[in-house]
Structure 1
Amino acid sequence: MIDKLKNYGIQGAEQFKTVTPVKKGWSADEKYKVVTNSGQKLLLRISSIKEKERKHKEFQYLSAMDRTIRASSPLAFGTCLNEERTYIIYTWVDVEDAEIALKNYSKEKQYKMGYKAGQSLRKINSIPMLDEYESWDKRYNRKIDSKLKMYESCEVALEDAHKFLEVIERYRPLIKNRPTVFMHGDFHVGNLVIDNEGTVGIIDFNRFDFGDPWDEFNRMIFTVDVSNYFASGMINGYFNDQVDKHFFELMALYTAVNQIGSLPWAVKFGKKEVATMQRLSKQIIE
């Protein structure tokens, strides 16, 4: 494996001592835990060259991230394998998945950890923008229309789907004049980790996006499914205990759109994922 990566032409590969594949996650990227000759631990992600521009943008934004945020920091970006692939090398953090580790903490501690995670998310959304984008309402309205069309063509259906559709219709006008910021893009407990001191870290920025910061909460059901206390703390931490009066309306909209779109996505991965999305959708309605 080490010889293979050295032949790829990756910066610093001659210093790699051990390389271990990382299988977790849905990404098509090749991921490896690397230990160098000096004992430094790294995360190496190798992507299609088609992702070069996007990966470079990820490298730029994460390089500007507040260093008080517990996350893997990008160290190097480049191309490899005769310009056929692109890669980023990050620092490695020894942690445990939050969806597993949270169960080992008291309800009070779970809330405090969620609060810290919300504060970190706020800092991520505050990273200065490098580019200008079309207004959020124009982009998101197209996204809504696309997801509704895919749902209508889907071979399976959500129970009480009409309730999600009603929420979309009712709160859709609220997206007008919403800001556009840098977003993690997939922020939920499945992309959070906890170290042995109980500090929450954030991983997997590969689905980063630009849009309304409150759209970061569209996957809150995944977090609630693990810990209501952590989820509650996350919202209060994000808003510094002063939750905006329109937040829950917009969170309802973004959650409804995400759930409507989740079923066509789940169908591609089989009955187990479809059942999971149907269960979570029912949980949201209840």
Structure 2
Amino acid sequence: MAFVPAQGYYPLYNPTIPCRSPIYGGLRPGMAIYITGKVSKHSNSFAVNMGCGQYDGTDIALHFNPRFEGRDTVVFNTFQSGSWGGEERRNDGIPLRRGTPFEMAILVTPVSYQINVNGILFYEYRHRIPMERVQCVHVAGDVKIQSITTVGGGAPMGGPAYPPGGEMILPAYPSMNLPVMGAPIYNPPVPYYANIPGGVSPKRTFIVKGFIPQGGQSFHINFKSSRTNDIALHFNVRLNENAVVRNSFLGGGWGHEERSAPFNPFLAGQYFDISIRTGNGRYKVYVNGQQFCEYAHRFPNVQMIDTLEIGGNIVLSLVQI
């Protein structure tokens, strides 16, 4: 059961550092790059570069460079025509620490990159190079990367061109069209409720990205029918039981629990990336790009499943339906 990413959602998991993750079709307003990882315990520095080519010496539209020697500092810059430009620095209230996990979101607007770290706007860097020239994300240095994900990207070369559709809701920059299958929502509150337009259909993918804080005990994802109040799929991560429970609530009662899984990828203090793909007879669940489980439909009329609920001890980074 190979991992099939959603349209407009291109993840790279657990790359060897240094690494380059391509951005197909170049950048445009409304796109975002999500990077989750952990700063090495003895890190001196690392860098995230928005490169204009996939080779050394290429122009770099955005250089994001945390430095942990002396006073912690993040340096921002652009490398163009063989030379670095004027540095921009921030050394107050840096949310990056040695030995700690982080999530970085680079949100692309017409005039700048909005750089969020751990869900908080950290810096805005104005474009010095046209965003359309950016071809890849390059990560190097003393850092371990869990995932690099392009949201709203174009199709791979030779692949289908996806038509415009959906919107990404971003802080201070709303209503930007994205060529994706649904509507990515950035940093939504928990509990989270959303309507599924048209109901669940085969070959549709739902994305949930988030973080389990220390002390978190459980969280759940429910696919429900608002008409009957049935829960077609209850996906319940229970850290206190070291289990991931799948079940359905039909006709006023819970069915038989399913708990078997090849591994448990959920830990407190870590980020996660869940993709739930609806097949003709089952749900296919992937966690951090790896096959996790399948769950056969118990609620036969899947078009009546029109509500997504997420609750529990988590911080959500992105939901795409």
TM norm structure 1: 0.26
Kindly indicate which of the two structures has a greater share of residues assigned to helix: 1
